[in-house]
Structure 1
């Protein structure tokens, strides 16, 4: 489904992107959240790399390559819910909840919740079939993680 959509909007002479899977869909959503405030910061990029490494057992270089691919996918795909639907269709509830946790980590990386970020989170939440309570639990978890990391530093 997403492949056909991407082919329809992609210029004919563009670089061929891989068929998205749940990992690439989550990565693209994280990139979209990070870029939504028009300030794609190094901290956010590093965090996305760390999350991809943690969730999918990549080393730092592999995670950075996956994120770079996700940046291209994110730019090519029209709607955030397309990625959320792919995650819903290809993963179980635990993976979808982990995806929501990851998205909230990226939102809270700069200690600010921008309206554009919240819009993307909500679109993804609905598309992934998660409740508002699931999203709020993920937000609280991400906030607690951020607090514990800042206390360690």
Structure 2
């Protein structure tokens, strides 16, 4: 009985998680950015699903399943730079820039740029081997798209 009590107090094990690839790493980074302000809204969840669907040609259900896996990866979380390095090592420049755009899309979605969110994007940018100017350009592209909506 005491053994069951202690097991209940332990955090859940994440043994069933897949090894992250670039898609899961980006998804986990988007979840991390969305949760940085400790206010993970339905709008952010939906946006992550739409971005995953757009970038990786998923239907809505597949994208939601990938995002759910990303949430678990984030909770079991290697450092932000580990996800960023995985993206850098497994994708080309065009895909890394698209990943940076996606991160800025999450940051700017609610109209507020939280300091914690920006810090995560900057850590990921550095780990992905992208420049500060790449980040500024990505932010501007996303802002223009949002203003057009």
Common fold: TM-score over 0.5: yes
Runs of 4+ displaced beyond 6 Å: none
**Structure 2 CA distance for aligned equivalents of residues 131 and 39 of structure 1:** 29
**Structure 2 CA distance for aligned equivalents of residues 83 and 46 of structure 1:** 21
How far did residue 96 of structure 1 move?
A: 0.2
- CA 1:73/1:14 → structure 2, altered by over 3 Å: closer, same or farther? closer
What do residues 1-48 of structure 1 show as CA deviations (whole Å, max 9, x unaligned)? xxxxxxxxxx79544100100000000000000000000001100000
What do residues 43-73 of structure 1 show as CA deviations (whole Å, max 9, x unaligned)? 1000000000000000000000000000000
Q: Secondary structure of the equivalent of 1:85?
A: helix
The normalised TM-score by structure 2 is 0.90
1:94-105 map, 5 Å? 94-105=94-105
Question: Whose Rg is larger?
Answer: 2
Are residues 1:66 and 2:60 paired?
no
1:97-116 map, 5 Å? 97-116=97-116
- Give the aligned CA root-mean-square deviation in angstroms: 1.2
Q: Secondary structure of the equivalent of 2:68?
A: helix
Higher alpha-carbon deviation: 74-83 or 59-68: 74-83
Q: Secondary structure of the equivalent of 2:58?
A: coil
**Structure 2 CA distance for aligned equivalents of residues 32 and 107 of structure 1:** 10
1:1-150 map, 5 Å? 13-149=13-149
**Structure 1 CA distance for aligned equivalents of residues 15 and 67 of structure 2:** 16
**Structure 1 CA distance for aligned equivalents of residues 109 and 12 of structure 2:** 36
Structure 2 spans left out of the alignment, 5+ residues: 1-10
* Aligned residue pairs, count: 139
